[in-house]
Amino acid sequence: MMENNRPSIKNEDQYEALRDKGYSKEKAARIANTPDSGKKGGTASGYEDRTKKELYDKAKEVGIEGRSKMDKKELIRALREN
């Protein structure tokens, strides 16, 4: 039987996915071994819950062009695709 020389990985699926995306072994292992690895979501409110002005300000912050002519749905789409 072949011996595995790599350290223990807490989230093997995430580790393999990161390696497939081109992450180094070390970086993939660090990410896959974080306590909340594989979990999604943070504490920020969803874009749908924000006002158009808040979305506009966020779009300005990240440098989305044409934001002044966008409606709320377009701002949300642009922010998600950025």
* Residue 42: per-residue pLDDT: 64
Query: How many residues make up the chain in this entry?
Result: 82
Tens of pLDDT along 32-69?
Answer: 888 776 666 666 678 999 999 999 999 999 999 999 99
* Residue 9: per-residue pLDDT: 86
* Sequence-ordered alpha helix ranges (H) in 1-82: 12-20, 25-32, 52-62, 72-81
Give the C-alpha separation, 32 to 24, whole Å: 12
Give the C-alpha separation, 4 to 53, whole Å: 53
